[in-house]
Structure formats: structure tokens, C-alpha cells
Amino acid sequence: MDSLGPKCQALASLWLWAEAALAKSGCTDLSFNEIRQSSIPQEWKDWMSAKLMVTDTTRPSELFGKVFTEYIQGLPASITTIGGSVMSEAWCCSGKTGIIGLVLCLYWQAEYSGAGKDWERNIERVEGIFNTLIATPEL
């Protein structure tokens, strides 16, 4: 993330705060079945499954950036509202199948699909998600 600039470094810091907040919620890693049934992009699912099996995974295709943009922009606006729907998202947990996937997907988008304006908007959306998690009173 260091090579992607100060905005990504700040996002990584927010991720750590959000991860710590989620750790208090008792949410744990997803099961293989939960991963399979989720609506997240397939390459993210493959990465999650590989992490559970402690194996390597393949790099995403060049089209991943478009797929991730469609996914992240298709999330309800209420995910960035305190008391909203962010906790209902499958990836809204700590650990290897949790919110770290959002950071990973942004990295993949920058590394393999070219960053661009979609990437910048996606960073802002993920930043909003992390800020919401940090500010959620029950966490």
C-alpha cells in the first residue's frame, strides 16, 4: 500500500481501526458455505477460500477492477450510515475473510486494472465504510 500513496496509507490506518472495532463484535471468519453464497466478486471469494485453506491463489484478471467497481458501487448507500446496513454484509467481520478483502480488492484494482477515477471513488466508498464501522456505538 505504501507505493500507492498517502491516500492508501491513510486508508490502511482506518482499516486497522475498523478491524479492531469489529473484533469486539464477535464476528468470525466466514465458512466456505457463507463465502460461496455471498454476492462478492468471484476472485475475492477465491482469495477468501484460499486463506481458509492456507493456500495460494491466482492473481485477478485485468477485468477485476470493473467487477469490483460494479460491486462496491452497487452496495446500498446505508452501509455508510451509522446504524445502517454495513453489519449485514458478509465481509463485515474481522479476520482473513473480513474487511481486509476491501483493502485487497483496492490493491488488486490498482495493480492489475489501473487505478483511475473508479479506483479513487472506490477508495472514498471504502473509507466511508471504515469510518462508519469505527463510529458505530455498539462496536
Whether the Cβ atoms of residue 6 and residue 112 lie closer than 8 Å to each other: no
d(CA 99, CA 129): 9
Q: Give the C-alpha separation, 109 to 66, whole Å.
A: 8
Q: What is the pLDDT of residue 124?
A: 94
Q: Tell me, what's the pLDDT at 26?
A: 84
SS3 state of residue 80? helix
Dihedral sign of CA atoms 49, 51, 57, 63 in order: positive
Q: Which three cell numbers stand for residue 115?
A: 487505478
Task: Give pLDDT, residue 118.
Answer: 92
2: pLDDT confidence band, cut at 50, 70 and 90? low
In the chain, the percentage of residues whose pLDDT exceeds 90 is 70
Answer whether 8's CB lies under 8 Å from 15's CB.
no
pLDDT cut 70: percent of the chain above it:
96
Strand, coil or helix: 4: helix
- The Cα-based distances of 132 to 56, 98, 118 in angstroms read 32, 15, 21
Q: What angle do CA 76, 69, 78 make, to 5 degrees?
A: 15
Distance, in Å, from the CA atom of 121 to the CA atom of 131, rounded to the nearest integer, reads: 15
- pLDDT, tens only, 29-80: 999 999 999 999 999 999 999 999 999 988 899 899 999 999 999 999 999 9
pLDDT tens, residue by residue, 76-114: 999 998 888 898 999 999 999 999 999 999 999 988 888
From the CB of residue 32, how many other CB atoms can be counted at a distance below 10 Å?
A: 13
